[in-house]
């Protein structure tokens, strides 16, 4: 069992309005800020080396998403991650499409050196990252669930962090404890950047409960799973889904989290 009740992790976000410093991609900027505000956190998007170090020190957590990288942004990401590492600010890495280009792989590797608290990605991204840190392992597009699970555990152990691998079923591990999470809705992949927004939401939860990153991560994923499931009941398509998701995140209560049955150990 977990030490911090997941419902308390949501309460902590709603009570403390944690400031989350986001360096994210251009597509996800607005939806990420709105998800953070809906769940009760305070988002701040800024990326330039002229100011990131000063700001990361003020924030409760940092969230880095490499979705639309370029050299100036990569420098900002690295400086922010370094600052977070030095100031013990928890931070989350979202390695969007890391397998797609060499540039993303190099950038991700430099960021991993600053020890993220949590890595949130899909199966392919987690396997690529795991392969970057474990010589001799490549990405297999036809990877079985067992291989993906093993990659996530290896990455968590190697990095000493929480890994949240999301998909139809999510797998969350800190290398020692492992969890599977079911929920959400089939429309979620038809709305852009929900995964990006989820990563920033994980950062908000870790900011509010920095002593328990695994349970904070589980609580953030649980919140999205409940809100996604409710939004799906009302939605006629991805447009109305996105609207309903923000409303559902806003309406979410600790009791909702306590009653969630989609989480299983193992």
- Interface with its own copies (CB under 8 A): 25-31, 33-34, 37-38, 43-48, 50-51, 54-55, 58, 67-72, 97, 100-104, 189-193, 235-240, 242-251
Q: For its own copies, give the closer residue by CB, 9 or 38.
A: 38
Q: Where are the beta strands (DSSP E) in the chain?
A: 19-23, 42-45, 61-65, 91-94, 118-122, 162-166, 169-173, 178-182, 263-265
CB of 191 to its own copies, least distance (A): 7
CB of 257 to its own copies, least distance (A): 17
In DSSP notation, 132-170 reads HHSTT----TT--HHHHHHHHHHHHHHHTSEEEEESSEE
How far is Cα of residue 15 from the mean position of the Cα atoms in its chain? 21
Q: For its own copies, give the closer residue by CB, 102 or 265.
A: 102
Say which residue the tokens 């994980």 belong to: 202
- 201, 35 in Cβ contact below 8 A? yes
- Ligand-binding site membership of 166 (annotated): yes
Q: For its own copies, give the closer residue by CB, 214 or 227.
A: 227
- Ligand-binding site membership of 127 (annotated): no
- 38, 250 in Cβ contact below 8 A? yes
CB of 251 to its own copies, least distance (A): 6
Instruction: Label residues 138-169 b or e (16+ Cβ within 10 Å = b).
Output: ebeeeeeeeebbebbbbbbebbebbbbbbbee
Q: For its own copies, give the closer residue by CB, 76 or 175.
A: 76
CB of 223 to its own copies, least distance (A): 14
CA distance 84 to 222: 26
Q: Which tokens hold the place of 255?
A: 């009791």
CB of 98 to its own copies, least distance (A): 11
What dihedral angle (degrees, nearest 10) is formed by the CA atoms of 210, 188, 127, 66?
Answer: -70
- Ligand-binding site membership of 120 (annotated): yes
Residue ranges of the annotated binding site for ATP are: 120, 166
Residues annotated in the binding site, as ranges?
45, 120, 166
Residues making up the binding site for substrate: 45
């Amino acid at each position: 069992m977990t030490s911090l009740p997941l419902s308390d992790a949501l309460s902590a976000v709603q009570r403390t309005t944690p400031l989350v410093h986001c360096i994210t991609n251009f597509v996800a900027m607005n939806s990420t800020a709105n998800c953070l505000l809906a769940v009760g956190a305070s988002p701040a998007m800024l990326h330039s080396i002229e100011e990131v170090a000063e700001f990361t020190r003020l924030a409760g957590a940092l969230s880095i998403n490499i979705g639309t990288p370029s050299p100036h942004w990569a420098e900002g990401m690295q400086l922010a991650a370094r600052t977070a590492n030095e100031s013990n600010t928890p931070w989350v890495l979202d390695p969007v499409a890391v397998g797609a280009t060499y540039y993303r792989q190099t950038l991700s590797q430099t960021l991993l050196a600053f020890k993220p608290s949590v890595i949130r990605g899909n199966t392919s991204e987690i396997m690529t990252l795991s392969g970057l840190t474990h010589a001799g392992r490549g990405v297999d597009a036809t990877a079985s669930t067992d291989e993906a699970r093993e990659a996530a555990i290896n990455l968590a152990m190697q990095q000493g962090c929480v890994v949240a691998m999301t998909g139809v079923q999510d797998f969350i591990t800190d290398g020692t404890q492992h969890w599977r999470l079911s929920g959400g809705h089939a429309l979620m992949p038809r709305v852009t950047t929900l995964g990006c927004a989820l990563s920033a939401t994980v950062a908000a939860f870790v900011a509010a409960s920095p002593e328990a990153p695994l349970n904070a991560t589980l609580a953030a994923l649980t919140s999205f799973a409940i809100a996604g499931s409710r939004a799906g009941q009302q939605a006629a398509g991805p447009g109305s889904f996105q609207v309903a998701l923000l409303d559902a995140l806003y309406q979410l209560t600790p009791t909702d989290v306590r009653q969630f049955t989609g989480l299983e150990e193992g």
